[in-house]
Amino acid sequence: MSRILGIVAGLVIGGFAVLAYRNAAEGWSLGQTDVGVWFTIIAGFLSIAAVVAVVGTILHSRPQNG
């Protein structure tokens, strides 16, 4: 059960990252470089968090041998 929750949390965070990337792209296209820069930075951090959540969940919820 905890494995499912960890992976779902990673996917939710990944969804937030996608939304942040979309806002960044919209900011860049409208010529608002400050919005584009900061949303790109936020999206990058969210992407890292999503990957770490999923990989960490998989690594730490493996069955133990022994």
pLDDT at 14 exceeding the cut of 80 = yes
Confidence band, pLDDT 50/70/90 cuts, at residue 1: confident
Examine residue 19 and state whether it is found in any structural domain, yes or no. yes
What total of structural domains would you count in the chain?
Answer: 1
Which residue's structure tokens are 């990944």? 14
Examine residue 8 and state whether it is found in any structural domain, yes or no. yes
Examine residue 15 and state whether it is found in any structural domain, yes or no. yes
The DSSP result for 32-65, as a single string, is: -HHHHHHHHHHHHHHHHHHHHHHHHHHHHTSPPP
- Please indicate, yes or no, whether the overall pTM of this predicted structure exceeds 0.85: yes
Examine residue 65 and state whether it is found in any structural domain, yes or no. no
Predicted pLDDT at 32: 96
Is 46:15 a contact under the CB 8 Å cutoff? no
Examine residue 51 and state whether it is found in any structural domain, yes or no. yes
pLDDT at 35 exceeding the cut of 70 = yes
> Where is average pLDDT lowest: 10-14, 33-37, 59-63?
59-63
Q: Which domain range does residue 18 map to?
A: 2-60
Tokens of 19: 């939304």
Predicted pLDDT at 66: 60
